[in-house]
Amino acid sequence: MRRHPAFLLILIGLALIQTFFTQAMFAAELAPSDSLARGIALYNQKNYVAAQEFLAKAVSGEHRNVAVAHYYYANALMQTNKINAALEEYERCYNLAPFSSFSGYCRMVLLRHGRTPDSKLETRAAGKNSPEQGGSIPGTTAEKFVRETPAAAEKPHSEAEVQALKARLPRLVATVKETPLALDVMADNISVRSAFVGEAEQRKTRAFERLEQSRQTLKHAEAVTHSFVPSVKSFGETDEEFRARRVKAEETVESLLTTFRENVNEAEKNFQTESSLLDNCINARNGYQY
């Protein structure tokens, strides 16, 4: 049966159109612009290792100047305890969009780990951030980002972060208890009793120095742990979630500082003991019972 040439042309046209759409769909699946969306989707599924693969492509490709891409990549790295790499990404995110809705969280993490964001960037006007930089996300993308951004309460401090904080804490001042002095008040002559006074004064001085060192060490530890407690809400975080996260961080800090406070208390007790000993030695030198 012979077909009309026009019918054949229609068939050829349909075949070409089908081929075009098939190739377009396949290309779309492999397009680098989808690496960010795929990475975010995998992150929200808690598949952090796979998410890193796509997000790494995103931040090294056409999304290298998009703060959102670096933000998610940093979160994925932090979830797998790649802290140094994560801090680099948080810093890039902050540098790209220092006034974005998630820059506060980036700054908090950087300060917590002893890094100070570039202060020069903070002099920029907030209105100069472009949507591409991450200062604002237009249209439905913003709504999707709000829904998909993990709440900070779901990202508590990892054990690796706590261990890193412990490593930055100062060493405790050694607790030293002096050997007790054996005083026989009335048996020794005045010169011996006077010698006891001199030694007791030295012991009290040493105890006071250790007490001051313990106090300074406690202040140092308090300064180190201060940034561990969040002071601002993260993007998408409710007041209740922020309070819960803050309380948990405060409990962690309090447990770390307890040892330093106990060290100060012990040093104060030793100082009081040496002070009493000096008073007793002075009374003994003067011929008074105690």
Same domain, 47 and 113: yes
Quick: pLDDT tens for 87-134. Answer: 999 888 888 877 666 677 787 788 878 887 764 444 343 333 433 344
Residue 135's contacts (CB-CB under 8 Å, 6 or more residues apart) are 67, 97, 99, 100, 126, 128, 129
- 3-class secondary structure per residue, the chain: CCCCHHHHHHHHHHHHHHHHHHHHHHHHHHCHHHHHHHHHHHHHCCCHHHHHHHHHHHHHCCCCCCHHHHHHHHHHHHHCCCHHHHHHHHHHHHHHCCCCCCHHHHHHHHHHCCCCCCHHHHHCCHHHCCCCCCCCCCHHHHHHHHHHCCCHHHCCCCHHHHHHHHHHCCCCCCCCCCCCCCCCCCCCCHHHHHHHHHHHHHHHHHHHHHHHHHHHHHHHHHHHHHCCCCCCCCCCCCHHHHHHHHHHHHHHHHHHHHHHHHHHHHHHHHHHHHHHHHHHHHHHHCCCCC
Of residues 3 and 174, more confidence is placed in 174
Q: How far is CA 103 from the centre of its chain?
A: 14
The reported pLDDT for the residue numbered 266 is 94
Angle, vertex CA 36, rays to CA 154 and CA 92, nearest 5 = 75
143/179 same-domain check? no
Q: What is the CATH number of the domain that holds 145?
A: 1.25.40.10
Mean pLDDT of the chain: 74
Among residues of the chain, what percentage have pLDDT more than 70? 65
Going from the C-alpha of 2 to that of each of 5, 59, 134, the distances in angstroms are: 9, 58, 62
Q: Are residues 121 and 216 in the same domain?
A: no
pLDDT at 22: 42
Greater pLDDT, 211 or 282: 211
Residue 21 lies in a domain: no
Q: Is the pLDDT of residue 180 over 60?
A: yes
Domain boundary among 150, 181, 214: 150
Is position 225 within any domain? yes
- Overall pTM > 0.85: no
Give 164 or 102, the one with higher predicted confidence: 164
Most confident of 9-18, 172-181, 264-273: 264-273
pLDDT value at residue 9: 59
Q: Is residue 220 part of a domain?
A: yes
- Provide the pLDDT for residue 268: 93
Beta carbons of 59 and 89 less than 8 angstroms apart: yes
Is 197 inside any structural domain? Answer: yes
Q: What pLDDT does residue 188 have?
A: 57
Q: Which domain holds residue 274?
A: 164-285
Q: Residues 41-57: what's their mean pLDDT?
A: 90
Q: What is the pLDDT of residues 21-35, one digit of tens each?
A: 444 443 444 344 578
Q: Is the pLDDT of residue 14 over 60?
A: no
**In which band, very low, low, confident or very high, does the pLDDT at 184 lie, cut at 50, 70 and 90?**
low
Q: pLDDT digits over 222-263, tens only?
A: 888 887 887 777 666 788 888 888 888 889 999 999 999 999
In this prediction, residue 257 carries a pLDDT of 92
Q: Is residue 125 part of a domain?
A: yes
Residues 65 and 126 in one domain: yes
Dihedral of CA atoms 30, 31, 35, 37 in degrees, nearest 10, equals: -100
Q: Would you say 175 and 273 are in contact if contact means Cβ atoms under 8 Å apart?
A: no
| Structure confidence at residue 213 as a pLDDT band (50, 70, 90) | very high
pLDDT of residue 265: 94
CA 120 to chain centre: 22
Chain centre to alpha carbon of residue 59: 22
C-beta of residue 236 within 8 angstroms of C-beta of residue 137: no
Contact call for residues 73 and 59 (beta carbons, < 8 A) = yes
CA atoms within 13 A on the CB side of 17: 6
- Split into its structural domains, the chain has a count of 2
